[in-house]
């Protein structure tokens, strides 16, 4: 197998073009070094002095020249071909190179007018980088054209593919660092091309930036053979092109030729697929590029007697002692002057006019492409009325329904109404999570072989299923960041797989909220089903409700957690989430047949309030209760209601109040979260001094954490998941964790004073009932009918 | 490129051998179906009746026949070749097949005597599976021979490689499901062969089980071309062998031939590498197998008019209505009888003697291999005295040291003393986390090209560095589960990448603790450096101390979290962790130059107690203080001491007590955690009613969560990370989060009553000091010298 390699003699660059692209690259490199090192003297009008240099050198040079090389060449191609392109920059700390390019092409000065094309603007550009009050060293939200911060390695390629879906004219150039390429999430992203439709989606052009080193080590891809590397990428379905060199002129020619070949090929693939699109799957062999150039290219080749350029030592700052070591200072000046700034910038500090002839103009600039500021192109979803999908209930807690199946019927209509801007992502769990109604109107998108026995597989569809939570999350993030909408459905326990990805996205949302030119994007919506209480059959390894704990550590401005107890509240909640902007919404809901508690109207009101007293289940007659039974989550709600039923039969004088919580954020004080209840309201619902038994879906500590500032906190006793479980039955699962109705009744007896002898007998009965339930389960392998079939007596 | 394919005519199986291996496979399949379906009538002595069938059918048939096929064939090879082999079973829900095989070869009956080779034993075997009080459907800790539960897809191959390191005679057969192969972590594991030394490590034989389907979808690897698949695996450095078929006899012959070829090749590679081992890197092209057989092979081919065998419908139970649908019941009986049980089991229910001739005996059985019960082969670490590495301090809080660098010098000696049983794992961060001293005695292990400019790279070494937290974690878990020791060092923020892997390992430890024949293994040790407070230069995206919150959700029996404030306490803590068994230990420590607070002797005593009053920093004279300043973590400790210094100068009459916490678990009640302090002790340290200002390394809510049951909880005011940060200076980071010394002094003024007018002035001074510090930083790009250079006045 051959790696495609172009013939250098047929290179497409004229001498003038080569000179221009090289000048542009030198300018970007100069501006990059300046950002890393300088506080002042940006044009080197005078010899460098220590006081011109930053006291803390925090930038990363190593990856920068390669990033700028690609940028300059892509600019040429955009202009020559009229491409609609964005640039996803994978390598961490690529910030200074990307900022340099956005400054050169004028977007940065437009958005940050004080950092303009002038000597003073250049001084500000340099000073602000990695400086207190300035900008980070990553390609963070502050950088125009970025949808991917980098730094947490592994997500560049999935973000790029997410951006390409449903953007048929877009090309996403994605530079993947060779360090990043070692990570699991990135390694799992190459096969995204199995899902990308050449007719209705755009194109991703992956560029593996093989500069050979990470922080302190060589990289795997740099040290395997050229044959193996090419074989790997062919195996992933690409046509790999190699550009390899360390002589700038030769590399310019070679890269230009390879890029021309790639864009020709992409145009050909698109035209071909679109001319004969007949519904059969086509998985074209898209091109990709392996770009092998030295790490820290054009920087100091040797410092203090050891090689730097082309080694891992070029990763951060090649010269570290510039303020104190005059040799280093001289080398820095020599290095910067090697780019011949006098040819690149005029006397005012602006790029010379010739340079500005390279990049395209207006929104054709990658840094100004509206797709990379997704809120600009975001269109609202057309949302059919969810009320039309509601479950008609015959009395509270008496009708059985499957919450996610009901949701699925509404999602089907959402898909029909939004064929160009909404997708559902799932790790092979859309059917399992009972959202299968969507397949009445769409399919799973898939470009590889489809067999006659397959179902709901097609080259174009709105459902993205792959057995990788990382890919689902990365694709969805890329899709949202480019102005579309989506929903990720997963098993609750395994959403922890993307904890770190959620972190980065939440931080991105938080940061971008402070940037006026970034427009709000659609929220990242999670539907977690197959949750902890219904993993009795999958066993202990599948039981973990802790994602919501993780989420709650992020800023209150950003995160929302909902636990709708039934189908109608789930519909109302999800409608709310799909309309929202700039949040992460986590919705936990059951998929199993379960009792339905609210009519559609009640559900709407209940969700609007976020929590509320269920009077139909309470016996306090609106007065101060003896005990509050609170619940959040479908299974805890069931157990609380069953306990309330027992209590009103067996202790008819006891005044019980049942409170259900949908919006977990309501539990916090209003000083902590915008959804928080004021203390007075909280005390009105939960009382100021009565025992509160709180049956919670997740780990009990979360409820304490949310309520510890409330007056009645010391009286709040929480039951939830406590890491007890195995393969058993649903009711045994709640018993193992002391969340069951019998245990809750025991808790009431233990905590409400003055219940008398009757209560002691009831307590013993509960102990016996637990024992009997356990025995029955062990013998029959299923739950006792009187437990499994309980419903609210009405 | 050709996929190696053996010539079927030269197949190595005699007719008798073929008949035997097929009979063994049929027996395993029979036992698998029995486990999934039957409560009774295990030998089908009478026609199947509905009451013989389990009420809830929870097993997974789809992957099972392939797993058993591999098992039977590996048995033949072990016996023929005297191999030392274990079997890592990647596909989730492979439990019934693996249990069937361990039962057949006799290990299961030895460990669980009631589940013996008899009709009654077989009945118990069937009944217990996925039944309350029974065993899970995964290859959980209960299954002898397992080191990998499966079910959370993606970690099989990294576990397999971890098991192979430093086990030169071991072969780890690793079946990877083709669904699992789509996940990022698995995709990133193929290149583990770049790290496996053919001389001093064992061998992993990956077997991609290409049965074509996941839960509800086809798989990527099944629908790309044979050429691309082979190209992919060659690109990953393997020699792929394809076994493809659906005729049992033909597949038996082909698989036997391919396995013989693989084991020949492995023997050749080992012999070759070991005969001429000369220190040069050798990366042999190890064999791997692609096994393409139908999903649910030998099960019902069609049910209710739709195809099942060879489709995704075979994933779980192919016949779901057996108790109510007499056709299904008849099909089940026909299916089970198709294995001809009468030929396989004698009248007592025991496997016929011929069958027992297939597997090897004793510890040669994969289910009895001691490597798969790591505690059996675990040898204690030889631990040099860490006290010899302590930092000599000249007064408390006056000497500067780098905690992790000091630890590195001890780890170097640990490595020297344990050249066969201890490894350090890190995602390219060992140098960055300042543990570089280890390279004085060892190298990073690496089998691909090594250039003259590389440092500390060698074919054999004790340090494993790859830019994938998933691989580091998976390798280490595999290494620990097979009875060795190790340490994983990572940036704090990015350890969230392995949240889900930690979950599974913690659950494995929890479950295996209840299994008497599983011997305790060494703890999983994390050293998190480059922590949240020292990511000022990397910015907001690198700031997250939430891993400890995640860890704290697991069982108290399993998890430990330590925050040593300086080098000597870090040494003492790590010595304790490396001696421990069956825990997950999380240690958070700084790598930057920082003040040292404890002498070696004090550090030992302090760590033994887990927390304590620092009298040298307190002004309460042993009496009841006016305020308690508590701290956990190196940076919070610094800020608390600086605040205490300010207070004793400016409010000399104020009685301040300084408390430092190393072992976070001490904060919990003793009813909650074995390390928990009794309430009386807690109150003695933290007082019952005085204001406590707690400066904490992580999110403040964790301290509330740990202390909410304490008498003085309402007086505990916590400062910690609150998701504020950017690229700035260290002191600006603590100011942004209100954890700085000045803010702490303000908190004291605000919370201690009766301080008088002097205090109000002090408060304003603190406000001004914060302002001045911020201004200085913005102007100079570094912290004010009086802040940065503060030390305890002694």
A734-776 pLDDT, tens per residue?
999 999 999 999 999 999 999 988 899 999 999 999 999 999 9
Q: Do B428 and A504 touch (CB under 8 A)?
A: no
Count of H-run helices and E-run strands, chain A? 26, 22
Tokens of A64: 């920068």
Nearest CB partner across the interface for A235, out of B228, B470, B507: B228
Q: Across residues A374-400, what is the average pLDDT?
A: 97
Helix (H) or strand (E) holding A415: helix A403-417
A216 with B311: Cβ contact below 8 A: no
pLDDT 10s digits, A603-625: 999 999 999 999 999 999 989 99
Tell me what pLDDT residue A4 has: 44
H or E segment at B160?
helix B156-164
CA distance B673 to chain A (A): 13
Q: Which of B630, B607, B740 is nearest to B686 (CA)?
A: B630
Q: What is the pLDDT of residue B276?
A: 81
Nearest CA in chain A to B506: A541
pLDDT higher than 90, residue A59:
no
- Is the Cβ pair A133, B218 closer than 8 Å? no
Please tell me which of the candidates B55, B220, B507 has its beta carbon nearest to residue A781. Answer: B55
Report how far residue A406's alpha carbon sits from residue B276's, in angstroms, rounded to the nearest whole number: 67
Q: What is the spatial distance between Cα B514 and Cα B616, in angstroms, rounded to a whole number?
A: 45
Q: How many other C-beta atoms can be found within 10 angstroms of the C-beta atom of residue A277?
A: 15
Selecting from B132, B467, B550 the residue whose C-beta is nearest the C-beta of A182 gives B467
Show residues of chain B in contact with A136, CB under 8 Å: 538-541, 726-727
The answer to whether the beta carbons of residues B136 and A727 sit under 8 Å apart is yes
Q: How near does any CA of chain B get to the CA of A708, in Å?
A: 8
- List the single residue in B56, B140, B187 with the smallest CB-CB distance to A539: B140
**Across the interface, do B466 and A220 touch by the CB < 8 Å criterion?**
yes
* Interchain proximity A187–B188, CB inside 8 Å: yes
Total Cβ atoms within 10 A of residue B212: 23
ipTM given for this complex? 0.97
Asked whether B6 and B257 are in contact (CB, 8 A), the reply is yes
- Which residue in B150, B546, B516 sits closest to A547, CA to CA? B546
Q: What are phi and psi of A289, to 5 degrees?
A: -125, 135
Instruction: List CB contacts of A596: < 8 A, sequence separation 6 or more.
Output: A391, A393, A397, A398, A399, A400, A401, A566, A567, A568
The Cα–Cα gap between A407 and A396 comes to: 19
Q: Tell me the shortest Cα–Cα distance from B159 to chain A, in angstroms.
A: 14
At A276 the pLDDT is: 81
Cβ separation A182–B189 shorter than 8 A: no
Q: What is the pLDDT of residue B153?
A: 86
Residue of B220, B429, B539 lying closest to A448 (CB–CB): B220
Cβ burial of B353 (10 Å; 0-12, 13-18, 19+) is exposed
Kindly give the pairing relationship between strand B716-719 and strand B692-696.
parallel
| Chain A residue with the nearest C-alpha to that of B236 | A232
Residues in A touching B780 (Cβ below 8 Å): 55
* pLDDT at residue B280 in the model: 76
Report the SS3 class of residue A229.
helix
A209: which strand partners? Answer: A177, A291
Q: With an 8 Å Cβ cutoff, are B232 and A232 in contact? A: yes
CA distance A507 to A499: 12
Residues of chain A found within 8 Å of residue B554, distances taken between Cβ atoms = 723
Assigned token pair, A406: 């009901």
Please list, residue by residue across B152-162, b when 16 or more beta carbons sit within 10 angstroms of its beta carbon and e when fewer do.
Answer: bbbbbbbbbbb
Give the pLDDT score at A794. 75
Q: Please answer yes or no on whether B185 and A184 come within 8 Å at the CB atom.
A: yes
In this prediction, residue A7 carries a pLDDT of 44
pLDDT one-digit tens code per residue, A327-345: 999 999 999 999 999 999 9
Work out the pLDDT band at A487, boundaries 50, 70, 90. very high
Instruction: Enumerate residue ranges in chain B where pLDDT < 70.
Output: 1-11, 277, 279
Of A337-346, A515-524, A550-559, give the lowest mean pLDDT range.
A550-559
CB neighbour list of residue B191: distance below 8 Å, 6 or more residues apart? A182, A220, B236, B237, B466
**Residue A549, min C-alpha distance to chain B (Å):** 8
Chain A positions touching B465 (Cβ under 8 A) are: 216-217
Contact A430 B216 (CB under 8 A): yes
Q: Could you tell me which chain A residue has the CA closest to the CA of B134?
A: A727
Strand, coil or helix: B17: helix
Q: Which two tokens stand for residue A567?
A: 């189908």
Q: How far apart are CA B47 and CA B38, in angstroms?
A: 12
In this predicted structure, the answer to whether residue A6 has a pLDDT above a threshold of 80 is no
pLDDT (tens digit, 9 = 90+) per residue, A267-285? 999 999 999 867 677 889 9
CA distances from A474 to A40, A190, A492 (A): 40, 12, 18
In whole angstroms, give the CA distance from residue A203 to residue A88. Answer: 13
CB–CB contact A553 B553 (8 Å): no
Give mean pLDDT, residues A440-453. 96
For residue B494, list chain A residues with Cβ-Cβ distance below 8 A.
Answer: 152, 500
In whole numbers, what is the pLDDT of chain A averaged over residues?
95
Q: Which residues of B touch A715 (CB under 8 A)?
A: none
Best residue in B141, B179, B540, B559 to probe A by mutation, most A CBs within 10 Å?
B540
**Given pLDDT bands bounded at 50, 70 and 90, which one contains residue A2?**
very low
d(CA B337, CA A769): 42
Q: A216 to chain B: which residues are within 8 Å by CB?
A: 428, 430-432, 465
Provide CB contacts within 8 A for A83, sequence distance 6+.
A77, A171, A263, A364
Q: From CA B751, how far away is CA B691, in angstroms rounded?
A: 7
Q: Name the residue with tokens 């637990």.
A: A770
pLDDT value at position B707? 94
Contacts A130 to B, Cβ<8 Å: 537, 727
> Per the CB < 8 Å rule, is B194 touching A499?
no
Do A673 and A667 meet the contact criterion of CB atoms below 8 Å apart?
Answer: no
Residues in chain A within 8 Å Cβ distance of B151: 538-539, 541-542
Judged by CB atoms closer than 8 Å, whether chains meet at B218 and A184 is answered as no
Report how many Cβ contacts below 8 Å link chain A to chain B: 348
pLDDT of residue A1: 34
| Closest-CA residue of chain B to A733 | B132
The rounded distance, in Å, linking the Cα atoms of B281 and B295 is 40
Name A711's bridge partners: none
- Residues B500, B511: Cα–Cα separation, whole Å: 17
> Residue B430 in contact with residue B488, Cβ under 8 Å?
no
Q: Is the pLDDT confidence value at A8 over 50?
A: no
For A86-107, write each residue's pLDDT tens digit: 999 999 788 999 999 999 999 9
Q: List pLDDT tens digits, range B270-284.
A: 999 999 867 677 889
State the DSSP H helix or E strand holding residue B123, giving kind and residue range, or none if neither: helix B119-128
Our measurement of the distance from residue A242's CA atom to the centroid of its chain's CA atoms, rounded to an integer in Å, reads 31
A451 interaction partners in chain B (CB closer than 8 Å): 218
Rounded to 5 degrees, φ, ψ at B129 are -70, 125
Residues A494, B507: C-beta atoms closer than 8 Å: no
Q: Closest approach of chain B CAs to the CA of A747, in angstroms?
A: 18
* CA gap A670, A683 in Å, rounded: 13
| CB within 8 Å: B214 and A467 | yes
Which chain A residues are Cβ-neighbours of B497 within 8 angstroms? 152, 499-500
For A54, the closest chain B residue by CA position comes to B781
Euclidean distance between CA atoms B499 and A414, whole angstroms: 33
């Amino acid at each position: 197998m051959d790696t495609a390699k172009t013939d250098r003699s047929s290179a497409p660059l004229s001498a003038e073009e080569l000179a221009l692209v090289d000048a542009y690259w030198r300018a970007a490199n100069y501006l990059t070094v300046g950002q890393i090192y300088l506080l002042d003297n940006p044009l080197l009008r005078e010899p460098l002095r220590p006081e011109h240099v930053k006291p803390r050198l925090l930038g990363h040079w190593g990856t920068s020249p390669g990033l700028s090389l690609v940028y300059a060449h892509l600019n040429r191609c955009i202009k020559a071909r009229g491409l609609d392109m964005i640039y996803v920059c994978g390598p961490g700390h690529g910030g200074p190179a990307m900022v340099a390019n956005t400054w050169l092409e004028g977007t940065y000065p437009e958005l940050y007018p004080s950092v303009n094309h002038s000597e003073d603007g250049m001084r500000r550009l340099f000073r602000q980088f990695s400086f207190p009050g300035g900008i980070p060293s990553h390609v963070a939200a502050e950088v125009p054209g970025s949808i991917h911060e980098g730094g947490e390695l592994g997500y560049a390629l999935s973000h790029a593919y997410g951006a390409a879906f449903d953007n048929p004219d877009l090309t996403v150039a994605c530079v993947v660092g060779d360090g990043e390429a070692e990570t699991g999430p990135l390694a799992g992203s190459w096969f995204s091309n199995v899902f990308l439709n050449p007719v209705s989606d755009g194109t991703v052009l992956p560029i593996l930036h093989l500069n050979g080193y990470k922080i302190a080590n060589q990289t795997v891809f740099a040290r395997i053979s050229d044959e193996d590397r090419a074989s790997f990428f062919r195996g992933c379905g690409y046509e790999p092109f190699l550009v390899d060199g360390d002589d700038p002129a030769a590399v310019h020619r070679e890269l230009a030729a390879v890029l021309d070949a790639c864009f020709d090929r992409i145009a050909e693939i698109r035209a071909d697929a679109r001319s004969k699109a007949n519904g059969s799957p086509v998985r074209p062999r898209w091109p990709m590029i392996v770009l092998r150039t030295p790490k820290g290219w054009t920087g100091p080749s040797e410092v203090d007697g050891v090689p730097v350029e082309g080694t891992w030592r070029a990763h951060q700052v090649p010269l570290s002692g510039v303020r104190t070591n005059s040799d280093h200072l001289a080398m820095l000046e020599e290095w910067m002057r090697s780019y011949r700034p006098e040819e690149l910038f005029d006397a005012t500090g602006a790029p010379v006019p010739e340079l500005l002839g390279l990049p395209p103009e207006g929104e054709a600039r990658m840094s100004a492409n509206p797709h990379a500021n997704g809120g600009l192109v975001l269109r609202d979803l057309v949302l059919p009325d969810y009320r039309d999908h509601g479950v008609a209930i015959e009395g509270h807690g008496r009708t059985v329904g499957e919450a996610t199946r009901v949701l699925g019927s509404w999602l089907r209509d959402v898909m029909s109404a939004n064929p160009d801007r909404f997708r559902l992502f799932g790790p092979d769990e859309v059917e399992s999570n009972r959202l299968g109604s969507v397949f009445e109107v769409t399919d799973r998108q898939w470009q590889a072989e489809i067999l006659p026995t397959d179902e709901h597989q097609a080259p174009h569809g709105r459902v993205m299923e792959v057995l990788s939570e990382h890919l689902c999350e990365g694709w969805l993030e890329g899709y949202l960041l480019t102005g579309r909408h989506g929903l990720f459905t997963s098993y609750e326990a395994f959403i922890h797989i993307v904890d770190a990805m959620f972190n980065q996205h939440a931080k991105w949302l938080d940061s971008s909220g402070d940037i006026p030119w970034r427009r709000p994007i659609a929220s990242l919506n999670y539907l977690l089903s197959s949750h902890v209480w219904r993993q009795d059959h999958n066993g202990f390894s599948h039981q973990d409700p802790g994602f919501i704990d993780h989420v709650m550590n992020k800023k209150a401005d950003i995160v929302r957690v909902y636990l709708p107890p039934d189908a109608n509240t789930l519909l109302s909640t999800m409608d709310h989430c799909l309309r929202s902007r700039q949040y992460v919404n986590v919705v936990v809901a059951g998929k199993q047949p379960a009792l339905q508690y609210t009519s559609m109207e009640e559900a709407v009101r209940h969700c609007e309030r976020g929590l509320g007293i269920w009077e139909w289940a309470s016996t306090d007659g609106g007065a101060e209760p003896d005990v509050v039974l609170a619940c959040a989550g479908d299974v805890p709600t069931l157990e609380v209601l069953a306990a309330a039923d027992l209590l009103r039969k067996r202790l008819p004088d006891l005044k019980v109040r049942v409170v259900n919580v949908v919006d977990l954020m309501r539990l916090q004080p209003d000083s902590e979260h915008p959804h928080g209840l004021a203390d007075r309201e909280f005390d009105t619902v939960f009382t100021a001094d009565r025992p509160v038994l709180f049956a919670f879906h997740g780990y009990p500590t979360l409820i304490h954490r949310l309520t510890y500032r409330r007056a009645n906190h010391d009286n709040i006793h929480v039951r939830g998941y406590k890491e007890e479980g195995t393969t058993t039955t649903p009711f045994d699962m709640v018993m193992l964790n002391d969340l069951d109705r019998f245990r809750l009744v025991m808790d009431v007896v233990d905590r409400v004073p003055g219940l008398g002898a009757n209560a002691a007998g009831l307590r013993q009965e509960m102990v016996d009932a637990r024992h009997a339930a356990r025995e029955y389960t062990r013998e029959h392998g299923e739950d006792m009918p009187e437990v499994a079939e309980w419903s609210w007596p009405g």
